[in-house]
Structure 1
């Protein structure tokens, strides 16, 4: 097996650190998620962390940016070969139920946003991250609702993502409606209300 170059090794270390962080943040909160704990969870030393990131703030803002973009990519891949509304609803519902099964992904952005605002490291770019995500997901769902106002892609995407990552989903434990139930109901209702082109 060929040895990794220095650049490849550094990139791998960086990826492993970023991959380990969400679980640490979900368990410890932002304040408790120390560099030592993140590095240890990834199998590295604090020195390896600082070889890749200038500060904890820089690290977590990069993590936030990565998280904010991944849902659009995942849903686009799921819907790539689908055009039938019921199939779109089925796939997005399954995706939402799977995401909600791991509360880490609901806790992580809340912790990062709270800390970023408190420490004044929250820029206009970061403020728009999740709005861009909502717009991206909403655009992917437009085949369900051809009469939905084009300007409101953001509202449609926000509805699905906020139902998916809502804090209550982590405490459902099988009692009451699940995230999948809520997303399916919302998308089905939107399709019924906006899915049939109006008569000219």
Structure 2
């Protein structure tokens, strides 16, 4: 009886750059998990490193401080938001359908209040510690502008009521900062839909559907 040959599995060894990128990814994921449970102030570097499966030294080999790891976490998440919305809207052309889709997305995103709380706690601590700088001040500029560029499609060319950064900022501020996430009243989606529909009705319908 023939004996089946054993197949030797050869695992490719990670390069130093790949290994470092994987370590950073695990630390970022751990930082979010710990922060979601303990809050920003309670999320210690020791706990973040331990739950990621690394030493404290490995943490400091990749990040200079707890503040830096959470800044990067917010930066990464903010870009992902724009990518998500762009994918949701890629097959939609009707402005009202686009507004409805964005409103539904905002409800889904607002159900996880940890992102908004993280930003507030991080900024509050940075102000207190006098570490607030350009990186903090411009943290959401790319996110707001990215969504705003998408929202320009709701309006005729040159007829949008505000610049892209402001348009995107309205949606994201309502999504992440609205008290309606915690109270029994109009939902985040209701607020986003009203804001966008009001702007569309005032500025988007005036050119007989001729949009950019």
Q: Assess same fold via TM > 0.5.
A: yes
Q: Cα deviations across residues 124-170 of structure 1 (Å, max 9, x unaligned)?
A: 23312223322221221112233323x53232212111111125244
Q: Which runs of 4+ in 1 moved over 4 A?
A: none
Aligned to 1:148, which of 160, 164, 186? 160
Moved more, 58-67 or 108-117: 58-67
Aligned to 1:15, which of 12, 16, 25? 25
The answer for the alignment partner of 2:190 in structure 1 is 181
Higher helix share: 1
Distance 1:56 1:164, change over 3 A: same
Q: Is residue 146–residue 165 contact of structure 2 (8 Å, CA) maintained in 1?
A: yes
Deviation at 1:38, TM superposition (A): 1.4
Q: How many residues align?
A: 196
Q: Is residue 69–residue 133 contact of structure 1 (8 Å, CA) maintained in 2?
A: yes
Unaligned runs of 5+ in 2: 1-10
Q: Cα deviations across residues 171-198 of structure 1 (Å, max 9, x unaligned)?
A: 24xx322212222222222221211134
Structure possessing the higher radius of gyration over alpha carbons: 2
Distance in 2 (alpha carbons) for counterparts of 1:115 and 1:93:
31
Q: Is residue 67–residue 122 contact of structure 2 (8 Å, CA) maintained in 1?
A: no
The answer for the alignment partner of 1:50 in structure 2 is 60
Deviation at 1:41, TM superposition (A): 3.2
Q: Cα deviations across residues 15-53 of structure 1 (Å, max 9, x unaligned)?
A: 111122223224323322110121233333323312322
The answer for the alignment partner of 1:161 in structure 2 is 172
Q: Is residue 96–residue 164 contact of structure 1 (8 Å, CA) maintained in 2?
A: yes
TM-score by length of 2: 0.80
SS of residue matched to 1:83: coil
Aligned to 2:116, which of 79, 97, 106? 106
Unaligned runs of 5+ in 1: none
TM-score by length of 1: 0.84
SS of residue matched to 1:4: coil
Is structure 2 residue 72 aligned with structure 1 residue 62? yes
The answer for the alignment partner of 2:5 in structure 1 is none
